[in-house]
Amino acid sequence: MPEATAPTLTPVKMSRTQIEARALEILRSHGITSLPIDPVTLANREGIKVHNAKFSEENLSGMVAKRGSDVTILVNQSDPPFRKRFTIAHELGHIYLHLQSDGEFVDTQVDLFRDTGETADNLSPERAMEVQANQFAAGLLMPSELVRSQFQTCSRVDELARIFNVSEEAMGIRLSRLGLG
Ligand SMILES: [Zn+2]
């Protein structure tokens, strides 16, 4: 183990439900409730910079770095729009859940995008933080109560995906998680 010069980043002791509630609370506190949710608007209102970046490693989707009040998200410029939105929401999860002190996360495609239904229990701290950031991202882009209320008038996955500006795959997973699929 290298000697720690900064506090080690650790998973939060929060359930999926609590993490999703936190995401919704943050949206509400900024008055962001219309669909589709724009994670860049949220970041900007928090003073977080979001930039497209060209990464030398192909499988990198994004990263976030916090240095004091300077917080920057970089997103892979060649990723498709759905993926960029999810990446930004995932990095926001790291910011709200894990970056209480300075630090950074570098995310590859395997860290991201897919909400596999894993729980953060019994995982390595590193993997648990990725799962938590994905839970936050799903809760941010597809808040459960907004999905449920939209589902009342339209139950088509493609249509809901369009309304929330997420991939059909992501919406399909979300619906089944909410018991609507
Ligand atoms: Zn991550």
Q: Are 134 and 115 in contact (CB under 8 A)?
A: yes
Residue 1 pLDDT more than 80? no
Exposure string of 82-117, with b = 16+ CB inside 10 Å and e = fewer, is bbbbbbbbbbbbbbbbbbeeebebebebebbbebee
Ligand 1 centroid – CA 180 distance (Å)? 27
pTM over 0.85: yes
Ligand 1 centroid – CA 72 distance (Å)? 14
Ligand 1 centroid – CA 28 distance (Å)? 23
Ligand 1 centroid – CA 65 distance (Å)? 11
> Using one digit for the tens of pLDDT, what is the confidence trace for 102-161?
999 999 887 765 555 666 677 888 889 999 999 999 999 999 999 999 999 999 999 999
Helices 168-177, 125-141: axis angle to 10 degrees equals 100
Ligand 1 centroid – CA 48 distance (Å)? 16
**Higher pLDDT pick, 2 / 85:** 85
For residue 19, which of 107, 87, 120, 160 has the smallest C-alpha distance? Answer: 120
Ligand 1 centroid – CA 129 distance (Å)? 7
Q: Give the per-residue pLDDT at 33.
A: 85
